[in-house]
Amino acid sequence: MVEVNGVSKVFGDVVAVSDVSFSVRAGVTALLGPNGAGKSTLFRVMCGLTPPTKGTVRVLGADARRDRDVRGRIGLAPQQDGLFDRLSALQFVTLAAATEAVAEPEPAARRALGVVDLDPDDSKRVSGFSKGMRQRVKLAAALVHDPDVLILDEPLTGLDPVQRRRMIELFHGLGDEGRCVLVSSHVLEEVARLGSRILVIAQGRLAATGDYRELRELMDDRPHRIRIAVDRPRQFAAALVESGTAVGVSVGADSLVVDTRDVDRLGREVAPLAQRLEARLSRVVPLDEDLESVFRYLVEKR
């Protein structure tokens, strides 16, 4: 349904997307990556909102930038918060339906708002809505014309846990109906529940693809970096290298930084080792548990 071939996008000196290729079929696919990784740019290119600097994108076999028919078969919930603020939710989604050539816009808008748990009869302007409500208005507008391809840029941001679960169920339902649902996120746990297929994008490049379990294994496989605050760092470092637990060590005045491939083993060894060396152990801190470092590892590995 969506084919991305060798796509790059450059803004001035900034390479936002670099030589990305993948194809996406019906079902839910998650695009995972840190903020600024190029996810939104890639979505914009896919929707035809901006042309690629290099490469081609085909959505349902056509270029959305040039093909009006295809534009009517895409539902986009963009990341940016902007809505026509003087309209109510019903007016906004009715406008979306009308501009998507839906035959009966208002009934369709009412249905779409119901799907995202918003009251169609709420006459309040969307400017007075919370972040989560605005997010759901965008989702309703993306769904209202029953699109074949749904592109949802960080759609769960601002939603409470119950709403997140409801929306994830909705996305899966749409995928099961044969639609192509592409959802971006920078939260690993969110993505775990989102899709059986995951595309990891970092620094503008496609860093990895696979299902969640494969990616988790890949991530767990990387070396972990741990800071150990101890009063005898040199002896501690020597012992860890000797035991084979550490693959790299750098020693400071009152701490050492250990690279290890087996973080569980290190965890088991640290306290007994301190006891054996009669060292005073004050802190053990993981240095690279944030998602950024995981993405960095995947990019470098690639």
| DSSP code, position 124 | S
What's the rounded Cα separation, in Å, for the pair 253 and 117? 57
Identify the residue among 10, 15, 62, 95 touching another protein (CB under 8 A). 95
Structure-token pair, residue 136: 């759901």
Helix, strand or coil for residue 19? strand
Q: For another protein, give the closer residue by CB, 136 or 224.
A: 136
**Residue 133: CB minimum distance to another protein, A:** 17
- Closest to 38 measured CA to CA, from 252, 236, 201: 201
Asked if 196 touches another protein (CB under 8 A), the answer is yes
Asked if 131 touches another protein (CB under 8 A), the answer is no
**Residue 176: CB minimum distance to another protein, A:** 9
Identify the residue among 15, 62, 83, 277 touching another protein (CB under 8 A). 83
What's the rounded Cα separation, in Å, for the pair 7 and 25? 18
Q: Find the angle CA(184)-CA(190)-CA(193) to the nearest 5 degrees.
A: 105
Asked if 69 touches another protein (CB under 8 A), the answer is yes
What's the rounded Cα separation, in Å, for the pair 278 and 201? 46
Q: What is the dihedral of CA 201, 204, 207, 209, to 10 degrees?
A: 40
Asked if 107 touches another protein (CB under 8 A), the answer is no
**Residue 178: CB minimum distance to another protein, A:** 3
What does DSSP say about strands 197-202 and 205-210: parallel, antiparallel, or unpaired?
antiparallel
Identify the residue among 10, 15, 98, 251 touching another protein (CB under 8 A). 98
Asked if 87 touches another protein (CB under 8 A), the answer is yes
Identify the residue among 76, 152, 168, 257 touching another protein (CB under 8 A). 76
**Residue 226: CB minimum distance to another protein, A:** 39
Footprint (CB under 8 A) of another protein, residues 242-301: none
Residue 259 CA: distances (Å) to CA of 90, 95, 161, 249, 293: 55, 56, 36, 6, 14
Asked if 74 touches another protein (CB under 8 A), the answer is yes
Footprint (CB under 8 A) of another protein, residues 6-45: 25-27, 44
